[in-house]
Amino acid sequence: MILVAGGTGTLGTRVVRALTEGGTPVRVLTRDAGRASHLSGQGVEISVGDVRDPGAIGHAMRGVTAVVSAVQGFAGREPAGAQAVDLDGNANLVQAALAAGARRFVLVSAASAAADSPLELRRVKHHAEQSVMRSGLDWTVIRPTVYLETWIGILGDMISAKGQVTVFGRGNNPINFVSVRDVAALVEHAIRSAVSAGAVLEIGGPEDLTLNALASSLLARHRCGRPVRHVPLPVLRTIAALLRPVKPTLATLAQFGIVMDTSDMTLPVDSARATVPDLPVTRLTDLIASDSQARQRQGRQGHGAEVSE
């Protein structure tokens, strides 16, 4: 039995499906059973609990041999944010795994996680990594770059709601985006193979894109001719500095926007693909094509329903 914490998110959903399709039973730890309804099916158990609650984790850990942690408290969306979820929550998962006799622990961290990172999330992820590495478990740390699907969703929602896109900063800094398809395949490999035990694996995608280029591609897909709008860096710096006490989520997002616009967001060495050469390689065009095909199927199904009525 594999426990997946954070199994209802964009990455976690892919990980659960990859493991169950390979015949491995999975238990998903979630605070809301309704959020896991799309995962129900053969080989999946749902355990309701919070990584911040050691008692709930202990209940979910019964019979578990390996743990995948894909939890994230980014941007203050959770009480106490990344500190409570990414650091304390992962520490609780580690202790519960040890108590239950589980041996394998795969932590999904973040590229460039470091104690001196300008981003709180990356600092907290670094400390969570240290906790896992010192645990005595057979661990693997996976550090993905920015999720391509997440930003397709963010920018696509803007287009659907307003018919335009607003980018934080100038939007011309090259960023390495990786698909959750590729990361999920790496997580599955890390669970099933001992080759990656004790390794920190950074994984990126096959191309660096600017936010302007990504936004333009999505605007074209939606047949929207409006230009990309921008929030200037001085405005972002003001938001990040002044709004943290009253609107920490917005301040954190502004700080993330500054880092994405002004720091090196590429990935010089993809150690994951060097270690696991047969990982899938997903491009932006692949995801756009998949989305177009899904829209066409939905359209045909909807048309068929109208005819039958």
pLDDT at position 247 is: 87
Go through 9-39 and write b for each residue having 16 or more CB atoms within 10 A of its CB, e for each that does not: bebbbbbbbbbbeeebebbbbbeeeeebeeb
pLDDT at position 296 is: 52
Q: What is the pLDDT of residues 155-168, one digit of tens each?
A: 999 999 999 999 99
Q: Can you give the residue ranges of every domain in the chain?
A: 2-147+179-205+268-281
d(CA 208, CA 204): 9
pLDDT at position 17 is: 93
pLDDT at position 73 is: 79
pLDDT at position 306 is: 42
Please name the residues in contact with 168: beta carbons below 8 A apart, sequence gap of 6 or more: 211, 230, 231, 236, 253, 254, 256, 257, 258, 260, 261
Options 3.40.630.10, 3.40.50.720, 3.20.20.140, 1.10.3720.10; CATH for 2-147+179-205+268-281 is 3.40.50.720
In sequence order, which ranges of 22-119 are alpha helices (DSSP H)?
54-60, 81-82, 90-100
pLDDT at position 295 is: 57
Contact 104, 64 (CB under 8 A): no
CA geometry: angle at 7 spanning 250 and 144, to 5°?
65
pLDDT at position 309 is: 31
Q: What is the pLDDT of residues 34-58, one digit of tens each?
A: 888 888 777 899 999 999 988 889 9
**Residue whose structure tokens are 């990172």:** 117
- Mutual angle of helices 120-133 and 248-262, in 10-degree steps: 90
Task: State whether residue 280 is helix, strand or coil.
Answer: coil
**Residue whose structure tokens are 């493991």:** 19
Q: Along the chain (309 residues), what's the average pLDDT of each consecutive run of 10 residues?
A: 93 94 91 86 88 90 95 62 85 95 96 92 94 96 96 94 94 97 97 90 97 95 90 96 88 92 95 95 92 55 43
